[in-house]
């Protein structure tokens, strides 16, 4: 899909990858971009840089996402590209993670993608074209040591994106799933931890990879190229992969132990 002249919505746009995506779409010729975030003040700042619209919303709330789609559609007369980018890290561990905290990360990291697709797909299918970008993580393809909720929800996010592409891909709907490792954002401000074994990259680099993926209609976006090799190793010998991850876990034992 050509970015030129497209109408775009980006969630999680107050900072990090979301903000970089808004700026990248504007740079590559999008006609209008909507910045969505629960942090309205910073979403406003992002929107001002591209003469866009900022909308405050909790992406884990279906009514909020429906409102985002309605307001964005009214302002832009339609939505061509919807980037469901917002996400949270959640808790480290399993045994001390409450059901309520599991539910919160599930709503933001998984249901937000589902809510967005349900709300925006009807107009895209009616036109016969549209594009969804769902931000997951390399954790969704591999795993995240220590963080059970993050691993599970990001895996679900990848699976949902695949399902949408399989189901609607031949009906004019493009889908890309973003799966980076460590990116310099608020989520990694205390250090990238295990995810940083292959280095930390900037949000702007990630945004440019997303633009390329949309232009070429590539499903899997892996800014860290090492991830593709890891995926192959995991698929070829799952037991060997798990044993290697167990060894890696021992190296990061202190970092992975939940603080009391």
Q: With CA atoms as reference, report the closest residue to 104 among 58, 158, 164.
A: 58
Task: Select which of 131, 150, 168, 230 is catalytic.
Answer: 150
Q: How far is 201 from 75, CA to CA, in rounded Å?
A: 34
Angle at 6 between CA 157 and CA 113, to 5 degrees: 15
The contacts of residue 206 (CB under 8 Å, 6+ apart) are 17, 20, 178, 180, 183, 223
Q: Would residue 230 show up in a list of annotated catalytic residues for this protein? A: no
Q: How far is 26 from 8, CA to CA, in rounded Å?
A: 9
Main-chain dihedrals φ then ψ at residue 30, nearest 5 degrees: -60, 140
Q: Which two three-digit tokens encode residue 147? A: 């963080």
Active-site residues: which are they?
150
């Amino acid at each position: 899909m050509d970015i030129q002249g497209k109408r775009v919505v980006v969630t999680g746009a107050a900072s990090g990858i979301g903000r970089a995506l808004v700026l990248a779409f504007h740079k590559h010729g999008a006609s209008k971009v909507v910045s969505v975030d629960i942090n309205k003040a910073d979403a406003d700042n992002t929107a001002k840089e591209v003469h866009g619209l900022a909308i405050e919303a909790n992406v884990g709330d279906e009514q909020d996402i429906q409102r985002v789609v309605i307001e964005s559609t009214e302002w832009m007369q339609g939505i061509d590209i919807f980037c469901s980018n917002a996400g949270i890290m959640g808790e480290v561990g399993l045994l001390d993670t409450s059901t309520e905290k599991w539910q919160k990360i599930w709503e933001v990291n998984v249901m937000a993608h589902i809510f967005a697709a349900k709300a925006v797909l009807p107009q895209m299918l009616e036109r016969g074209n549209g594009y969804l970008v769902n931000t997951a993580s390399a954790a969704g393809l591999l795993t995240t040591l220590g963080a059970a909720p993050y691993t599970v929800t990001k895996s679900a996010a990848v699976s949902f994106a695949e399902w949408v592409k399989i189901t609607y891909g031949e009906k004019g709907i493009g889908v890309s799933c973003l799966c980076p490792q460590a990116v310099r954002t608020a989520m990694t401000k205390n250090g990238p931890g295990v995810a940083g074994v292959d280095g930390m990259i900037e949000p702007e680099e990630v945004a440019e990879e997303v633009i390329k993926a949309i232009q070429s209609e590539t499903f899997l976006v892996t800014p860290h190229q090492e991830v593709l090799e890891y995926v192959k190793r995991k698929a070829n010998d799952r037991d060997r992969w798990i044993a290697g991850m167990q060894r890696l876990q021992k190296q990061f034992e202190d970092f992975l132990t939940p603080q009391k």
